[in-house]
Amino acid sequence: MLRYLARKLLWTAPVLFAATTCAFLVLHLIPGDPVNLMLSGRPASEKVRENLRAKLGLNRPLPEQYAHFVLHAARGDFGQSFATGQPVSQVIAQQLPASLQLAGSGFLIGVAGGLLLGIAAGLYPNTVIDGIAMFIALVGISMPGYWTAMLLIYVFGLRLGWVPIVGSGLPVLILPSIVFGSYAIGNLARLVRSSIIDVRGEDYIRTARAKGLPERRVVLRHALRNALFPVVAMMGLLLGLFIGGGVITETVFARQGVGALLVTSILTKDYPVVQALILLTTAAYVFANVLVDLLYGVLDPRVRYG
Amino acid sequence: MRDGRLSRRSLLGGAAAAALAGSALSELVSEASAQGRADAAVTWGEDQDYATLDPRVTQSRHEAQAIMQMFESLLFLDTDGKFYPWLAQRWEYSKDGKSITFVLRRDVKFHDGTPFNAEAVKFTFDTIVDPKLGSQGAIDFLGPYKSTDVLGPYTVRVNWTEPFAAALTNLSNPWLLSIVSPTAVRRLGNDGFARNPVGTGPFKFVEWVPRVRVVMERNEEYRWAPRVFRRQGPAALRRLVIRIIPDATTRVAALEKGEIDVCDQVPPIEVRRFQGSRDFDVMVGDVSGIPLSHLINTQAPPTNDLRVRQAYMYAINRPQVVQQVFFGVAKPAYGPITPTTPGYWPGVEKMYPYDPAKARQLLDEAGWKVGSGGIREKNGRPLEIHFITLLEPDLEVAVQAAAKEVGIKLNVETVTKAKQDEMVMHAQYNIGEIRWVAVDPSVLDIPFFSRNIPAPGKFKFNWSRYGSPELDRLLRQADGQVDVKQRQQTLAQIQKYVLDRALMFPVHVSAQPIGFRRIVRNLKFAQGYWQVLFYEATVS
């Protein structure tokens, strides 16, 4: 097990390196001049532009800029944001807690909702319960986040007034978490449902029933545990997605977060911030995957790592 | 939002303000509405995020909204077009027009307690032109700046290398050339100061949570408001919060719910609804500067033909299109600067009225005959115009329909800023959009001076790519004419010249609809009609 973990962690370094190099290359190759974008297209004189270019180190040749970035990143120094001059680590540190909050609550709602709906549908397939659950799942997957957000804001925020829209305190997480988690609910519900239906046809389930176990025991003890494998894999993927990708939810609900930060930084070509965030998101995915692999080991005694 | 506690300090502050206000009869009468609640807080919903709060660095009219509550300039330019003393009590031009001497107020203090004086003015202007600062807006606004001389503790002389007609207007700008505390800058460094601004304004900085909010509180020492305001002491509001909400729908919902009190940039479709409501109202600013306009590329076919450009301009029914898209909130525009900009020449309103028959005639003369499908052709090629849009795609689709009526095929392409910039530099367009918030007519240099023609690696705004020595001469002349009447005449010539050659098609004045709860009173537009000053605002 430990050797397996060590091997996995050893692979993270090259993966991170490859991801950030790709990001660096793509950023520099796509059209758009950071200095120009920073100035929002204002008619700044040549001297203003040259000053800015020098200040940001953009007048140096590309390989030199790359080497500079890699050497400093290895030491944890990601430079300063082009937009504000703040150290990038500080910029990200300010935005990260809100993203983690949203990711956490969204993930919880997604998993809880998805499992609930999926189990109900899986246990009572082709019934009204199944129909309702799958309808909700379909809506969760297909409705664009922006539209769901607007609907929820209008109905629950404005008309009914039950929850705040952009105010303060913990309740302000409610609407964004539902929007954020709706995609996960949809995906997980369908996956859990088909997993359970598959598993219920298995021999060992018939054996358990033949032994005289109550149905509830059959489901909870045997069917569910085995049905969860594909679900765990999906959860790993979702976790990575959640950490990186809340930009629409963050923008609509006027929240802090790394999703919106990433998009803004790409549009304004704020290289240091984008590179640091790519690194962060890649690391999140890798971490999530390792976690999933470990969970497999826990859930399935047949899986041995060595 | 609102805090019910009334502390002794704010009571005393309120009493002091009342005493000052009560000294004039007219002020006694307006006392009731000028006071409001002395402990009130107001939240403003802002539509774009901030990167800096340093007036010497910024170029964003959104950051300006926060900056102008905390910083002040030497003189105050009101929306009536007149200059009033502010941090400077009086000023005088030198005989050669290249210098202005300012006599400063002696009773002004920065938020950190240090005194405002001639040294602070010199420090502000000198650091603006220092490349280490990285100024993005102020440095160009200072014009051909040479130096500032300290003639006494409260007397300064600002020198330019040549007469600068926009000097007074630019120096009155409260978010670009306002005065910073040298002590604070030296203590915090430029980057630190950008996140902890210290000025002389009626509000002082408390905190800035990036992407979320900026919080300011009342400056209790404030006593030097320009005479333009009825109020003379500290502000009525105890706290002013700027909450950043980029999505317009969310911002409007927050206003309706009461989570914000004043809303920036209310979408036109919502304006009527708020204006008619019991609890809310909307004040609409007609923004000065360059209206939303189409700059037409005079170098690329088919728009390199004057007749085609003119036909385009005659073909579009401006009042109708603007009404359709903006529901009456924005007004149509006919000239390169808006009616609220000084130097506006009303003669532009007679040029290019809606006349589709004239448009068709011009196109026939130019050899473009109507082909199949209603689109004109010449030598087997259709009359296609490539239009890149970033700012107002809805409007441009309406324009596209109008152009089709006379046989022009307008290919509208929606682009990101980065893509637009590339296409502009490489001349891959026929028409692009421009608009500019400005208070001085020298803004005309931006799209019309020949040195501003874009090229690869050089992003500038002369997108009609037209340069003539005569136009340059007129623009330079207007920039240097300190005499108002002479300058007005030159500006009229420039506006006629530009339209005669169909370099630009003005469409509509930019509108700044501010939605607010009726209990918030005395909001005032700053010069230019984009930002709002909260100094006199009260909550009843």
Closest CA to B137 of B67, B216, B186: B67
CA distance B103 to chain A (A): 31
CA distance A158 to chain B (A): 6
Average pLDDT over residues B338-347: 94
- Give the global pTM: 0.82
Cα-Cα-Cα-Cα torsion B381, B387, B388, B389, nearest 10 degrees, comes to -150
Average pLDDT over residues B510-516: 94
Binning pLDDT at 50, 70 and 90, where does residue B159 land? very high
* CATH class for the region spanning A96-299: mainly alpha
Q: How far apart are CA A167 and CA A157, in angstroms?
A: 11
B292 Cβ contact partners less than 8 Å away, ≥ 6 residues apart: B333, B391, B392, B395, B433, B434, B435, B506, B507, B508, B509, B510
Average pLDDT over residues B502-510: 96
pLDDT in tens, B411-450: 999 998 888 888 999 999 999 999 988 989 999 999 999 9
Q: How many beta-carbon pairs under 8 angstroms link A with B? A: 125
Q: Structure tokens of B519?
A: 């209990």
Average pLDDT over residues B23-39: 49
CA distance A235 to chain B (A): 30
pLDDT at A41: 57
Top residue of A166, A172, A175 to mutate, by most chain B CBs within 10 Å, is A166
**Residue A81 Cα distances to B33, B62, B313, B511, angstroms:** 45, 19, 44, 33
pLDDT at B20: 46
Nearest CA in chain A to B416: A267
**Residue A253 Cα distances to A98, A145, A240, B112, angstroms:** 12, 11, 21, 35
Q: Does residue B26 register a pLDDT over 70?
A: no
Neighbours of A67 (CB within 10 A): 12
Q: Does residue B48 register a pLDDT over 90?
A: no
Average pLDDT over residues B389-398: 89
Which of A254, A264, A267 is the closest to B250 by Cβ? A254
Asked if A32 reaches chain B (Cβ–Cβ under 8 Å), the answer is: yes
Q: Where in chain A are the domains?
A: 96-299
Cα-Cα-Cα-Cα torsion B462, B467, B470, B474, nearest 10 degrees, comes to 10
Q: Does residue B1 register a pLDDT over 70?
A: no
* Residue A225 near residue A72 (C-beta atoms within 8 A): no
Instruction: Say whether the ipTM exceeds 0.85.
Output: no
Closest CA to A74 of A285, A275, A257, A290: A275
pLDDT at A122: 86
> Quick check: helix, strand or coil at residue A177?
helix
Average pLDDT over residues B41-58: 90
pLDDT at B38: 63
CA A187 to the chain's CA centroid: 14
Top residue of B49, B142, B211, B264 to mutate, by most chain A CBs within 10 Å, is B211
* Residue A229 near residue A273 (C-beta atoms within 8 A): no
Nearest CA in chain B to A83: B51
Q: How far apart are CA B61 and CA B55, in angstroms?
A: 11
pLDDT at B364: 94
Top residue of B50, B136, B274 to mutate, by most chain A CBs within 10 Å, is B136
pLDDT at A214: 78
pLDDT at A243: 65
Q: Which helix (H) or strand (E) holds A29?
A: helix A2-29
Which of A51, A167, A267 is the closest to B259 by Cβ? A167
């502390």: which residue's tokens? Answer: B7
Binning pLDDT at 50, 70 and 90, where does residue B242 land? very high
Q: How far apart are CA A267 and CA B365, in angstroms?
A: 45
Q: What is the pLDDT along chain A (306 residues), one digit of tens a residue?
A: 677 778 877 887 888 888 888 888 888 887 777 787 777 656 667 777 788 888 787 888 888 888 888 888 778 788 888 888 889 999 999 988 888 888 888 888 888 898 889 988 988 889 999 999 999 999 988 998 889 999 999 999 999 989 999 877 788 999 999 988 888 888 889 988 888 888 877 777 778 778 887 776 777 777 777 777 777 777 777 776 776 668 888 889 999 888 888 888 888 888 889 888 888 888 888 888 788 877 777 777 776 664
* Cβ contacts of A37 on chain B, cutoff 8 Å: 417-418, 421
Q: Does residue B128 register a pLDDT over 70?
A: yes
Binning pLDDT at 50, 70 and 90, where does residue B288 land? very high
